[in-house]
Structure 1
Amino acid sequence: MVENSFDKIANIDEALSQINDGATIMFGGFGGIGSPPTIIEGMINKNVQNLTLIGNDTGFPNIGIGKLVSRGHASKLIVSHIGSNPVAGQLMTEGKLQIEFSPQGTLAERIRAGGVGLGGVLIDVGIDNDIVSNGKEKIVVDGKEYLLELPLTADVSIVYAKKSDPFGNLIFDKSARNMNPLVAMAGKYTIAEVEEIVPLSELDPEQIITPGIYVDMIVQSKGVNWKWVWE
């Protein structure tokens, strides 16, 4: 367990000790880009079960978070789509996987709301659709009706970054940034897998996207094992 708040570097076993059966896990990534491969592979090896996964999508069957989904480690997903992972669709059709869909922008706002402590966000997307609006509170503001979308948080957030210092200040690599900054804020405990860990004060403050105050633990990435991906 990390004890020094200015040195949050840990090994993968310490990171996995925070992730147990039945946990709600929020993950960064967009089609697998920006998802933490070492942590995901570790979760599979640990054989954690009955997970609720929250993130943009289900990756591909053997890429990103899709590796967990395809192997049956999740019981529920909250995502914007599953189209790139046919295994997720099959599991949903067979009743083995519960899926809550949320439009991508709405999903991002719900995660942001959870991260900054808002009680929810007001959205007009789907207000005239019975399937979308079913069970959601409607609120009128200045004569216009909105759906109240509730915030999303997680027991553990897992994110992937290009570079970090020991405090957990994070820099992301171009489009791999995607949902990661929002996800980092919304976890009760946030683990960042990073490609490169540099000494304190080495990062350019103007390039830091996620301040270390949101990060509880840092693990060194082993990168993507492409042989394992295609097995």
Structure 2
Amino acid sequence: MNEISLGQCADIVKDGDTIAVTGNGGGMLEPDAIFAALEARFLATGHPRNLTIIHALGVGDGESRGISRFAHKDMVRRVIGGHWSWSPRMQKLARENEIEAFTLPSGVISTLMRESGAGRPGLITHVGLGTFYDPREGGGAANAAARAAKPVSEIITIDGRDYIRYLPLRPDVAIVRGTYADEFGNISCAEEAGDLDIHAVALSAHNAGGKVLVQVRERRKSKDCHARLVQVPGIMVDYVALVPDQPQTHVGEYEACLAGLPGARAPTPEAFGGLSSPKGARAIIARRAADEIQGHKSVNFGFGIPGGIASILTEQGRMQDIWVTVEQGIHNGQLIDGALFGAAMFPKAIMRSTDQFDYYSGGGASIAFLGAGEIDAQGNVNVSQLGQDVVGPGGFVDISQGAKSVIFCGTFEASGLSIESANQSLKILQYGRIGKFVERVREVTFSGPNAAAIGKSVKYITERAVFQLTNNGIELIEIAPGVDLERDVLARMAFRPQISQTLGHMPLHCFGSAAGSPAQASDIKMRLNNA
């Protein structure tokens, strides 16, 4: 292990290299100082160029940091990413076919890096079957440039059953981050908000003969380090760059409570945008969704509108009755919404995201609450291609296919929707300009027919109507008090759903004055784009 400067880190990356990185939205475990050095070198010299970038989770701040450091014409040739919304600049390159844009489920990417590093023949899994990530349905090729390129997966059959084999990844360079390194190169993430897939990323490059670059905040003597808190052993580390002013996240300095350290002080939830109560349409949806947690123990909350459910459960004094997980590896604690989704104050356990995805893939979650961008008559859901932008599925596919029950949460329409909720009734002040119940979703991120075939319990909750999945598609089972069935629901859909013979009202407790002020169009649009 050698300690080198950031500029020397940039010199190690060569034209045409494949780079695997760690990180999560909000700056969690993001080695942005090394990224910035690479960007500066490219802008000054035009090198390195034609890179392939691999990232499982969303990485960046929505502006200039994270994956956006690589988002320059000719710097990148191919991107294989789980979630793209944190880099509008990279989304633009994908939209304009300047890069080969592949999206894959985040858990697939993380565990594929582990399998590749272990020398196994890629990742063989059910995750992605029947969706856009199935090689027969697009294989994750998100633009024309990717569709013309070599595929990243194939179908294989074992014991008469189809699986997807995601082909091995062989990074030339891994760029990861920890809190500190000792003199032997052992890397600890002890004061970070998560471990994510740091070990899998480093393993994939090291065992492929590549280099592992690590950004850390400080050096410590091995006698001052805890062996059980080492995430990457020094034998896998080639170079360490010291960045003393490395922040824990993009929204604050180091907070011990995010790392689950003993004796951590309690900052106000507002410090992270934490557990503030949802408002408007989001409050209605969250209250109705919370009603679905009846006897469920293992619960997952997705990004966007579902993130408000934890606040409702806290208000109801019910959080202690469930076990909450998110794909970044967090178990329980006070979940943080917004830019730092994936972190928690005072988590009770922090696992590697690769281990968390194994838990989801094997069916560990009892119930999952996820966002919905588009829904069609068959119950298919799209969250991965919204408007003209590549968004990617994040952990959505891994979680939705593994969970025993799935609840999709989202507003009935997008862009301009305004509602008023009072006196246990809903009034629609202005319809949204974009309908979400469409004739056919643009990408199948969740397959309704596949879920129905195995008897999975699925519901779709909006502020004005609730649907459930049946063997014949989706069925309307509840409408909000105060709305007109034909005018406000059926006429606003691109198809006519089945209607339950016992159609009733959504529970009145969802609509009191506590449901909040009219929803703001800008707030709804932002949440849908990030769902």
| TM-score, scaled to structure 2 | 0.39
Displacement, 1:222?
4.7
- For residues 112 and 195 of structure 1, do their structure 2 counterparts lie closer, same or farther at Cα, with a shift above 3 Å needed? same
2:213 to 166, 191, 197: 191
Equivalences for 1:73-222 in 2 at 5 Å?
A: 73-129=75-131, 132-134=134-136, 136-172=153-189, 173-187=191-205, 188-222=210-244
1:60-98 C-alpha deviation (Å, 9 max, x unpaired): 331222222267632210111212322222211111121
Displacement, 1:43?
0.4
Give the secondary-structure state (helix, strand or coil) at the position aligned to 2:232. Answer: coil
The equivalent of 2:388 in structure 1 is none
- For residues 141 and 132 of structure 1, do their structure 2 counterparts lie closer, same or farther at Cα, with a shift above 3 Å needed? closer
- For residues 201 and 40 of structure 1, do their structure 2 counterparts lie closer, same or farther at Cα, with a shift above 3 Å needed? same
1:14-45 C-alpha deviation (Å, 9 max, x unpaired): 32221122211111111232121221111011
1:186-216 C-alpha deviation (Å, 9 max, x unpaired): 1111011111111233311111121111111
The equivalent of 1:46 in structure 2 is 41
| RMSD after superposition | 2.2
* 2:179–2:192 contact (8 Å) kept in structure 1: no
* 2:94–2:101 contact (8 Å) kept in structure 1: yes
Give the secondary-structure state (helix, strand or coil) at the position aligned to 1:218. Answer: strand
Q: Which has the larger radius of gyration?
A: 2
The equivalent of 2:19 in structure 1 is 25
* 1:28–1:178 contact (8 Å) kept in structure 2: yes
Q: Is residue 9 of structure 2 the alignment partner of residue 35 of structure 1?
A: no
- For residues 58 and 161 of structure 1, do their structure 2 counterparts lie closer, same or farther at Cα, with a shift above 3 Å needed? closer
- Distance in 2 between the 1:113 and 1:175 partners? 25
Displacement, 1:52?
0.9
* 2:18–2:51 contact (8 Å) kept in structure 1: yes
The equivalent of 1:4 in structure 2 is none
The equivalent of 2:4 in structure 1 is 10
Give the secondary-structure state (helix, strand or coil) at the position aligned to 1:175. Answer: coil
* 1:38–1:222 contact (8 Å) kept in structure 2: no
| TM-score, scaled to structure 1 | 0.85
Could you tell me which amino acid in structure 2 is paired with residue 14 of structure 1?
A: Q
1:105-130 C-alpha deviation (Å, 9 max, x unpaired): 11111111122211112111232347
Could you tell me which amino acid in structure 2 is paired with residue 45 of structure 1?
A: A
Displacement, 1:159?
0.5
The equivalent of 2:480 in structure 1 is none
Structure 1 segments unaligned to the other structure (5+ residues): 1-6, 227-231
Could you tell me which amino acid in structure 2 is paired with residue 202 of structure 1?
A: D
Displacement, 1:179?
2.3
- Distance in 2 between the 1:64 and 1:176 partners? 16
* Paired residue total: 220
Structure 2 segments unaligned to the other structure (5+ residues): 43-47, 137-150, 251-531
Give the secondary-structure state (helix, strand or coil) at the position aligned to 2:40. Answer: helix
Which range moved further: 54-63 or 164-173? 54-63
Displacement, 1:162?
0.4
* 1:122–1:147 contact (8 Å) kept in structure 2: yes
